[in-house]
Amino acid sequence: MRGLRVEELSFAYGAAPVLRGVSFGAPPAGVTALIGPNAAGKSTLFKCIAGLLAGRGKIEVDGRPLAAMDRAEVNRTVAYLPQENPTAAVLTVFEAVLLARQHAGSWRVADDDLTRVAAALEDLGIADLALRYLNELSGGQKQLVSIAQALVRAPRVLLMDEPTSSLDLQRQLEVLGLIRRIARERGVTVVVALHDLNLAARHADRVLVLDGGVLRAAGSPADVLTPATILDVYGVEARVDLDAEGVPVVTALRSARDPRAKGGYLCQPSRPQETN
């Protein structure tokens, strides 16, 4: 299979299991949204795929096991944008993005490297920040720089953990639209963790639901984002409508958990069927 393939991936911090036999595929030239409540294991899953944590199981990119690659090849193949991405404040924006580009290849700076950095900044609407120092930027501006650092590496797989959390609504839509366009034009496999279910529905081709380290559902947004799944995973009663394009629109109605009983529900959730 081309793209990303994860089979029976498990990971534990000491005796505490975090991922429990997670298996899924994420095709190239598309965006896969990874959703789930806090502490579901999303960041740990990304770190295992990026080779930062050693999980048990198999991870392949375009049919090749990551275990067969050295660290430099993994860095060229998989780009991981964590939710918090501290960077050295002594660098300008252009230098920081160029440095990310060099980490994925040779340390020699070619004209193509400079062109790609400039294009990444232009695509994200931050070309005017090129000569600003990182410590002069707002949180949202720093997040856009981090996204530019990931995009400029031109990886085969791009993992993004809440890339829009510090951005205003307009920037969120622009950035996710850009990521989707880049995935399709360059054949990149993109997996993006999102808390906003409506952003996931609008911008993803496929949705994965992770809860308690277990993959609860996988499939198209319309197949996965159902009232039953939302109730089961989030403990929230919701209405799900389809817009004119067949995209689910989720409206949260109320918490279904009974505050008088720990872990109790006002109504009993049902386990959703996993879709492939």
CA-based Rg of the chain, rounded to a whole angstrom?
A: 19
Task: Give me the helix-helix angle, 93-103 and 139-151, nearest 10°.
Answer: 30
CATH number of the structural domain 4-265: 3.40.50.300
DSSP letter at 92? B
Q: Are 183 and 30 in contact (CB under 8 A)?
A: yes
Residue 2: CB atoms within 10 A of its CB come to 15
Stretch (H or E) spanning 115: helix 111-123
Q: Is residue 186 helix, strand or coil? A: helix
Give the span between the Cα atoms of 114 and 43, in whole angstroms.
31
Give the span between the Cα atoms of 196 and 140, in whole angstroms.
17
Q: Which of 35, 45, 46 is nearest to 197 (CA)?
A: 35
pTM beyond cutoff 0.85: yes
**pLDDT digit string (tens) for the chain, length 276 residues:** 689 999 999 999 999 999 999 999 999 999 999 999 999 999 999 999 999 999 999 999 999 999 999 988 998 899 999 987 666 568 999 999 998 887 655 567 778 889 999 999 999 999 999 999 998 988 889 889 999 998 998 899 999 999 988 889 998 999 999 999 999 999 999 999 999 999 999 999 999 999 999 999 999 999 999 999 999 999 999 999 999 999 999 999 999 876 654 544 444 444 444 444
pLDDT at residue 154, as a whole number: 87
